[in-house]
Amino acid sequence: MSLMGLFLITFLFVHLGLNLTILTDPTKETFNVAAHFMATNPFIQVFQWVLFAGFLVHIFFGIVLQLQNWASRPKGYKVSGSAEENIFSRYMIHTAIVILIFLIIHFVNFFLIAKGVIPGIKHVEVDGVEMEDLGQLILDLFKNGWYVTFYVVALALLGFHLDHGFQSAFQSLGLNHKTYTPFIKGLSHVIAVVLALGFIIIPLVIYFK
């Protein structure tokens, strides 16, 4: 679970970099060309399923571990340990459920619709190449106030999830030492803030522009 979590964090940085081009290039061409390349590159298409598998493995083990924790101490402790007192640790499963719902909606919008499984995607021509206009799809979705609100809440919860998840992944792997553990905890805060705010800024700029 820890390894899959670290792998998914790496993916989030790549994903954020691509999404930010929506703001830096008003024509949407950069985003659409990059998205088209990813949708037609054989290696990336194979990697896409590795990514899906990573999500499933992470979710599966997260549920299993939570059930084991509940089964081992159904009444809880009279005195909580430091990990128990951490709000991020206490509500990991709850934030994960909201994130999972968000991922399902995200999957429908940017995979099923983008692939044409569900009709509705527009097309655009860039340098003589016809491709899906995913940039316009993003702009349309981020003009919906309800979708933007849910997106912001989900990404804020993702930040909380990452803040605890990144540092606990190193503990689970046995990489815990008084010398570098404080640095890992600090880095965990930075990663959570950068990723959460990075994704949240995009819909807010588009909606209020």
Tens-place pLDDT, residues 32-53: 999 888 888 888 888 878 888 8
What does the domain layout of the chain look like in residue ranges? 2-71+82-208
Burial bucket for residue 54 (CB in 10 Å: 0-12, 13-18, 19+): middle
Q: 2-71+82-208 in CATH: which number?
A: 1.20.1300.10
pLDDT on residue 142: 94
Which segments of the chain have a pLDDT < 70? 73-91, 116
What distance in Å separates the CA atoms of residue 186 and residue 146, rounded to the nearest whole number? 33
pLDDT in tens, 56-77: 887 788 788 777 877 776 555 4
Describe the crossing of helices 145-172 and 2-24 by its angle, rounded to 10 degrees.
Answer: 140
Give the length of the chain: 209
The encoded tokens of residue 172 equal 């689970």
Q: Judge whether 129 and 123 are in contact, CB under 8 Å.
A: no
**What's residue 190's pLDDT?**
93
